[in-house]
Structure 1
Amino acid sequence: MFVLELGLIGLCVALLPLSYVWVKASDDKFRKLVWMTTFLTLDLVMFGGFTRLTDSGLGCPDWPGCYGTASPFVAHAQIAAAHAALPSGPVSMTKAWIEMIHRYFAMAIGVLIVAQTAIAWRARFKRLPLHVSPWWPTALLMLIGVQGAFGAWTVTMKLQPIIVTTHLLLGLALLGTLGWLAARLTPIPVYEPQISRYRFAAAVGLALLIVQIALGGWVSTNYAVLACTDFPTCNGQWIPPMDFAHGFHLWRALGMTADGDVITQDALVAIHWTHRTFAFAVIAYLVALALRLRGYESLRRPANSVLLVLAIQFATGLSNIVLQWPLPIAVAHNGGAAVLLLLVVMLNFRTASSRPGRAAVPTRDAAPA
């Protein structure tokens, strides 16, 4: 019964953006729905980072509900008992609400993608010009199902780093795919076929960024942010003692080695140092790419935005070390990575779509009113 209640809560949350899109006097409602879903997915990724950074991932130690209920209100007695038994543990009323709000939000995103899928297949069967294959939202629906499974395993496997990092990467994959779909539905302001020469360079930039985000996720899920306490050196050394074998052993419990011992500081330093060092290569590449692409009118705004977000990312990453990982800056750093991914995806779409015969300039959609 509580699963049905959870579904109804997700539906109610999703009705707010759905209503906003449908009451707007516009003929391109499907495009607006995709952009709204993209924006809310970005918010969900940021709130997921907030959930992890506040140690709320086990605020409700079961899934999909909270102690077998749909709300921490109903599970108040169990949460209070768990908190009284272990006041410094992962369960408290505040953490339970943070975790459940994250789940409600995720279910609402699922409802929005279900709506996209239904609209797209209806347009296919009725031969309405929707300018997108229904397999796009169908693929998104399957992706969010896999993401939900990893969300469940995050809880049931007690925040195992590889599971949590994969959960993060799947969330960003969902965001990036939604961004690509939104770009397909949005008219390109100026068609510049000459920018197609940069499609490989843009793809390399995206690949480097994904690796860097994965390394950042590994730092966060292993709580290695403060393994290096100074900058630009690490604990007073350019190349400190590091244990890469244990630091990057993927299948192990949180805070433990594969042998069941407590993970060493040298292993955490290896995780942090790798993320920090690779960041310089990624920043240098993306800055060079953005400076080159900003010379084209259709790429100027996203390229300038990439430069701005890179500067913010550097500042927040450095502040996390110097200021000892304050929560608002840590959340901003997580969110900045998601925004940067979305911008680089947009650059990739623009360069790929400028090939001959690939211009994406849709007319208005015929989505149902």
Structure 2
Amino acid sequence: MTSSKTHIDSKANRRFRRLALNTVITLYFLIIAGGVVRSTGAGMGCPDWPRCFGRWIPPTEISQLPADYKEIYGAKLKGEIEFNPIKTWIEYVNRLLGAFTGIMIFLTLLASVPILKSGNTKIFLLSLSAFILVGFQGWLGAKVVSYELLPIVVTLHMLLAIVIVFLLLYLFTWAYYANNPLKLNLIHDKNANKLGLIILVLSLAQILLGTQVRETMDEVIVKMGYDARNQWMDSLGFEFYIHRSFSLIIFGVNIYWISLIIKSEGKGSVAGKIATACLWILVAEIGTGILMAYFGVPPFAQPIHLTLAILLIGLQFIIWLLTNGKKYLVYKDNLKVKHTTI
């Protein structure tokens, strides 16, 4: 929508901006926790939902469970449930972080109400969408458990997390420039602008390919066990080789895109600084991929690899917003703000 108001209450804007940023940070912690769950095989550490072994506070030792707990909770897991307190609490902490993220997004929604009153409907609706989606994400997390880590459900779970990250990053970026539109660093290189959306699509495709590799690895782990960690990669299928080869394309296209942005805007600009950060994250991302491929899939590398991928696509999304700032953030005409477009 178009609003004739160029300013919202500065105090309300700062509160909204802080909450949006803190919610993004919380969401990334949740993604890290999810990566730890996957890398440790703790996805079924709690065989029921929303409780864990029928308790709101999970057990810490097997004596706290009934003697026939395998029959009670193992039916849907084909009798393969073994209580492991470490895996149980890893999964439970992941659930707690998910609930806390929902609270943070709800607070962000409440903070958008004063912005709605100022005439900006879109920001409120996007905040509401993020809140609804995080609720759906919680429901989808329950289905991950009830469907026993069904690959398509796990992939949808990851895809929805990225959508929520995009929504919150948009809200934060908008709030950052809402009352200071002249600080907006628009990217003027047309080739960089056109390439931005392609970069986002390629990064998303690579993340989804990564989830396919992880799902194949889950099958390998079931067959070979955790003691054969050094042999996992040798047993992966074509998904892994596509993912590995595609990373070279991702790297090359990103290097070209980053060079265009830095050349156009300079390293000291907002876009230049974010592009430089993308470069270092990309290098670290490839580094963790090499660690997993050639050094026996060390457990710490998997959650770091996943988090770096989501962090990278998030920063790429911010650059894309700067690329399209006139359309999605503010209009500028001869360095004078006419009106906001959100």
Same fold? TM cut 0.5: yes
Q: Does 1:290 align with 2:276?
A: no
When the two structures are aligned, how many residues end up with a matched partner? 301
- Deviation string 1:303-325 (CA, Å, 9 cap, x unpaired) is 10111011111111011111100
**8 Å CA contact retained: 1:58, 1:99:** yes
Q: Which runs of 5+ in 1 are unaligned?
A: 1-24, 228-253, 256-264, 364-369
Deviation at 1:356, TM superposition (A): 10
1:212 aligns with 2:206: yes
1:278 corresponds to which letter in structure 2? F
Which of 84, 94, 101 is the aligned partner of 2:86?
A: 94
* Structure 1 match to 2:52: 66
1:293 aligned partner, one-letter code: I
Partner of 1:250: none
Query: Take 2:82 and 2:159, find their aligned partners in 1: how far apart are those partners?
Result: 23
Partner residue of 2:103 out of 98, 111, 114: 111
Residue of structure 1 equivalent to 2:320? 348
Alignment of 1:330 with 2:302, yes or no, is yes
Compare the two structures and name the one with the higher helix fraction: 2
CA deviation after TM superposition for structure 1 residue 26, in Å: 9.3
1:261-300 alignment runs, 5 A limit: 268-295=236-263, 296=265, 297-300=269-272
Q: CA distance change for structure 1 residues 137 and 349 in 2, over 3 Å: closer, same or farther?
A: same
Q: TM-score w.r.t. structure 1 length? A: 0.73
* CA 1:144–1:157: 2 relative to 1, 3 Å: same
Secondary structure of the corresponding residue to residue 194 of structure 1: coil
In structure 2, do the counterparts of structure 1 residues 140 and 196 end up closer, same or farther at CA, with 3 Å as the change threshold? Answer: farther
Q: Cα RMSD between the aligned structures? A: 3.4
2-side partners of 1:284 and 1:224: how far apart? 30
CA distance in 2, matches of 1:135, 1:186: 18
Does 2:17 match 1:36? no
Q: Give the aligned residue type for 1:78.
A: L
**What is the match of residue 273 of structure 2?**
301
- Aligned match of 1:198: 192
| Matches of 2:290 and 2:218, distance apart in 1 | 14
Change in Cα spacing, 1:79 to 1:47, as seen in structure 2 (3 Å) is farther
What is the Cα deviation at residue 161 of structure 1?
A: 1.3
Contact 1:56 1:91 in 2 (8 A): no
Instruction: Provide the identity percentage.
Output: 22
Q: Which residue of 2 aligns with 1:15?
A: none
TM-score norm. by structure 2 comes to: 0.78
Deviation of 1:222 after TM superposition, in Å, equals 2.3
Partner Cα separation in structure 2 for residue 151 and residue 131 of structure 1: 30
Q: 1:139 matched to which residue of 2?
A: 129
Which ranges of structure 2 fall in alignment gaps of 5 or more residues? Answer: 1-10, 224-232, 338-342
